[in-house]
Amino acid sequence: MAQNVANAPAPAFRVPPATVERPHPRLEQRHGQRHTYAALDLGTNNCRLLIARPESEGFTVIDAFSRIVRLGEGMSQSGLLSGEAMERTVTALGVCADKLRRRNVSLSRSVATEACRRAANGRSFVERVREETGIALEIIAPQEEARLAMLGCHKLLEPGDGPAVIFDIGGGSTELVLIDHDGATPRIRSWWSAPWGVVSLTESEGKEAIEGKDRVAAYKRMRERVRRSFDRFAETLPKDRQGIRLLGTSGTVTTLASVHLALPSYDRRAVDGLHVPIEAMHRISSMIAQMDFDERSSLPCIGPDRADMVVAGCAILEAILDIWPARNLGIADRGIREGILRSLMARDGYAL
């Protein structure tokens, strides 16, 4: 059953190599100093880090890192994180640890999501990461993942009085949140976590089917598989669909928005906060599903790194559009990391 997670706990973890005493916010303001915060999100497909300092109306990013690590690769068959995937991820986390030290980060929260939640060796991997890098990963529950994603991007919702759905298509799962947003702070009405992300859904169908001559039929199967996993969440959605709004945060939606804009290379400034007509997103998803790997790779903002997973992302997106047919899709190049940063800074008295 969908649950309300508005009051879900959000503990913070200090990274040992970067620990310093935290000054009181008022003293910081008096002396013109700013506390340095960091947020690390280790997903099934990506490892992402943001380091920032609070400002009068938000925060300024002073360093960032993002790398496709595919931690959950092959896990749907084995139930385990593979040796190669763990090696790739530890290497990326070592880069993050160096940045945390060099930037003198004093308060950080590092979270791990679906891959570490589901893998039988997920907790032992977290211990290895702590030993080798000093980063204390926290395996968070799906509802906390959904809450953080919502906190990180809700300000990009279209103006309006109707209910809104915010979703995050990950590598191993997809989180959806139904909110009322009639004030400064949104109220979560229900949330849902489906076990399909771009990695898990691709592996469920098999790359051979997605790339084969019957790939359109494979795409339809994936789309239906995801739609069924949303059935119980769909039951919580209001029947009156007047004024509804939709906002997505993930590599899938930012990639498809880039294709919509025909960008020669990815440009966050052009994509973050964009609102794309739903008809255009359906059209682009259908086009991508019909392409083979080489054709998808030739699109500038997809390339070979995303070409094998983007079809599954399109299937998940279209399943969401089926249950929540808003007029436009809001695009957010922000999410869990920004939600973590806002949470940490708000606790220290900063109004964001």
CATH of the domain at 23: 3.30.420.40
- Looking at the structure, do residues 52 and 159 belong to the same domain, yes or no? no
Q: Has residue 325 been placed in a domain?
A: yes
Q: Compute the half-sphere exposure of residue 289: CA atoms within 13 Å on the CB side of its CA.
A: 24
- Looking at the structure, do residues 149 and 94 belong to the same domain, yes or no? no
Q: Is the pLDDT confidence value at 181 over 90?
A: no
- Looking at the structure, do residues 260 and 295 belong to the same domain, yes or no? yes
Stretch 240-263: mean pLDDT, rounded? Answer: 94
- Looking at the structure, do residues 61 and 164 belong to the same domain, yes or no? no
Q: Compute the half-sphere exposure of residue 54: CA atoms within 13 Å on the CB side of its CA.
A: 24
Domain stops at, among 109, 141, 173: 141
- Residue 20: its pLDDT value, please? 28
Q: How many domains are there within the chain? A: 2
The Cα angle at residue 249 between residues 142 and 157, in degrees rounded to 5: 110
Stretch 88-116: mean pLDDT, rounded? Answer: 96
Q: Has residue 337 been placed in a domain?
A: no
DSSP string, 40-81: EEE-SSEEEEEEEEEETTEEEEEEEEEEE--TTTTHHHHSS-
200: helix, strand or coil: helix
- Residue 183: its pLDDT value, please? 62
- Residue 252: its pLDDT value, please? 96
- Residue 14: its pLDDT value, please? 30
Split at pLDDT 50, 70, 90, the class of 67 is very high
Q: Has residue 53 been placed in a domain?
A: yes
Domain stops at, among 119, 141, 163: 141
Instruction: Give the domain CATH number at 192.
Output: 3.30.420.150
- Residue 131: its pLDDT value, please? 97
- Residue 290: its pLDDT value, please? 96
- Looking at the structure, do residues 180 and 289 belong to the same domain, yes or no? yes
Cα–Cα distance measured from residue 27 to residue 13, given in angstroms and rounded to the nearest whole number: 23
Q: Has residue 339 been placed in a domain?
A: no
Residue matched to tokens 């931690």: 71
- Residue 57: its pLDDT value, please? 74
Q: Has residue 4 been placed in a domain?
A: no
182: helix, strand or coil: coil
- Looking at the structure, do residues 153 and 129 belong to the same domain, yes or no? no
Domain stops at, among 121, 141, 161: 141
- Looking at the structure, do residues 53 and 197 belong to the same domain, yes or no? no
- Looking at the structure, do residues 162 and 256 belong to the same domain, yes or no? yes
For residues 261 and 271, the answer to whether their CB atoms sit within 8 Å is yes
- Looking at the structure, do residues 121 and 34 belong to the same domain, yes or no? yes
Residue range(s) defining the domain that contains residue 175 = 144-332
- Looking at the structure, do residues 117 and 169 belong to the same domain, yes or no? no
Q: Has residue 10 been placed in a domain?
A: no
Stretch 329-344: mean pLDDT, rounded? Answer: 96
Q: Has residue 281 been placed in a domain?
A: yes
- Looking at the structure, do residues 247 and 170 belong to the same domain, yes or no? yes
Q: Is the pLDDT confidence value at 137 over 50?
A: yes
Q: Has residue 342 been placed in a domain?
A: no
- Residue 241: its pLDDT value, please? 83
Torsion angle of alpha carbons 75, 89, 268, 345, nearest 10°?
Answer: 110
Q: Is the pLDDT confidence value at 5 over 60?
A: no
Q: Is the pLDDT confidence value at 206 over 90?
A: yes
Split at pLDDT 50, 70, 90, the class of 217 is very high
Q: Compute the half-sphere exposure of residue 104: CA atoms within 13 Å on the CB side of its CA.
A: 7
- Residue 33: its pLDDT value, please? 60
Residue 195, both tokens: 């076990």
Stretch 283-303: mean pLDDT, rounded? Answer: 96
- Looking at the structure, do residues 169 and 126 belong to the same domain, yes or no? no
